Amino acid sequence: MVELIHTSDWHLGNPFSAFGGSQREALSAARFEAIERLFTYAREQGVRLVLCAGDQIDNGELRDTKVLLRAFGVISSFPEIQVVMIAGNHDPYTPSSVYARVAAGSYPKNLMFVERPQVVELPDHGVRILAAPLTERHGRVNPIVDLCAGLGTGDGDRGASEGGEDTAVIIGLAHGSAAVSERLGGDSDAFPIPPRLAVEAGLDYLALGDWHSHLSLGERTYYPGTHEPLAFGDDAGSLHVGIEERGTIPTVKRIGSPIYRWEELNRTLRDENLEEALAELGQSADGGSSVIRLVYDGFVSLEGYKRLEEQLTITEGIDFARFVERMPDIRPSADELRAIASEGYMKQVVDKLLLLAEDGDRKADEALLRVYSYFSAASSGRKGGASSAKRQGKSR
């Protein structure tokens, strides 16, 4: 039985430039704490192999070596755990790489950092790892294809070698896109890895990095996602993988829970549900460790808009960080609307739209706002034109 932890995309040293100074420090510290939690889990579960699938360092060619050395400190404190690590597209192994700027003697004894594509034999762990680190930021070639070339193809080739005694579980370790853009967006041409590569090449498991959310591509190919969220929408975590023997389907368990929870809240507001939204702003479900993005849609009265602004200010410190992406539109009052369309056909239109809006018809709200904006602008234009003409007459 082979057990391992599959992790990737730590992005240590990310600047978190959208946040304040103390927030940046806290988010950066959380990324290291999440690594320590991961290794602690491995120790408690008796897992002695960790595979790191690239992008451990954010912008690794420019990052200070202290970031990498701090990660080394965590790894070296778990000496019984063998770590195999490759570079990704954000920290490619180049002469200017942070990995190259650290002395060889500073690398933990339990860390095998793979500098060039190669087969790594770990007989004590019962595995053979086809490790394919990246050596450039941009590429259009499958980084692991050459290593897979000699394995044969298909499930039928997942057996012993010609001698009949090679029972090592074969694992691919690579960093690339796996054509995820077709499903989730992204650049499918950047180090493209065919989604069926593991099946076609005869791999027992393909451990990938690059995508920041958990993603499975069949029974043998996985992205764990970043271990701690970097952005809204990240489905973060790592993977605890078990493989009974060569040829068997892996069992894969998601592990880890974010230290900081990134959540986008989309709310459609009206005066009728405004109190509920205001109360929500005053609640913190996780003790102030949430990074919240608020996206408000809908229409509220001027008074409601003012109350929302004030509640946002009052509750500003209840979450770890809060970003307001969009505020609702201000809907003119019925009296204001009727004042600008007080007779004729437009009065009938406005009355009808007001009735629809009261029933929650969003399109009616949009139409009313357009009517109000049009008549307000027309009214301002007429006033402005008369005033302008009067001033011009005086100047002559």
d(CA 9, CA 223): 10
User: Do 316 and 354 fall within a single domain?
Assistant: no
User: Do 114 and 202 fall within a single domain?
Assistant: yes
In the predicted model, what is the mean pLDDT of the chain? Answer: 88
pLDDT of res. 156: 42
260-271: average pLDDT: 94
pLDDT of res. 152: 53
User: Do 223 and 267 fall within a single domain?
Assistant: no
- Residue pair 61/94 in contact (Cβ under 8 Å)? The answer is yes
User: Do 312 and 341 fall within a single domain?
Assistant: no
User: In the structure encoding, which two tokens stand for residue 384, read together?
Assistant: 């402005």
For the question of whether the overall pTM of this predicted structure is more than 0.75, the answer is: yes
107-132: average pLDDT: 97
d(CA 286, CA 288): 6
Residue-wise pLDDT for 12-39, tens only, equals 999 999 999 999 999 999 999 999 999 9
Of 210, 230, 255, the position where a domain reaches its end is 255
User: Do 338 and 382 fall within a single domain?
Assistant: yes
pLDDT of res. 390: 34
245-261: average pLDDT: 96
- Angstrom distances, CA of residue 239 to CA of 6, 16, 57, 198, 315: 5, 25, 19, 17, 37
User: Do 130 and 175 fall within a single domain?
Assistant: yes
User: Do 6 and 141 fall within a single domain?
Assistant: yes
- Residue pair 223/253 in contact (Cβ under 8 Å)? The answer is no
The helix/strand/coil state of 312 is helix
80-91: average pLDDT: 98
- Residue pair 351/341 in contact (Cβ under 8 Å)? The answer is no
Structural domain boundaries, residue 285? 261-330
Number of domains in the chain: 3
User: Do 226 and 322 fall within a single domain?
Assistant: no
User: Do 317 and 389 fall within a single domain?
Assistant: no
User: Do 228 and 289 fall within a single domain?
Assistant: no
pLDDT of res. 180: 62
Residue-wise pLDDT for 294-348, tens only, equals 999 988 988 899 999 999 999 988 999 999 999 998 887 777 777 776 667 778 8
d(CA 386, CA 394): 13
DSSP state of 106: G
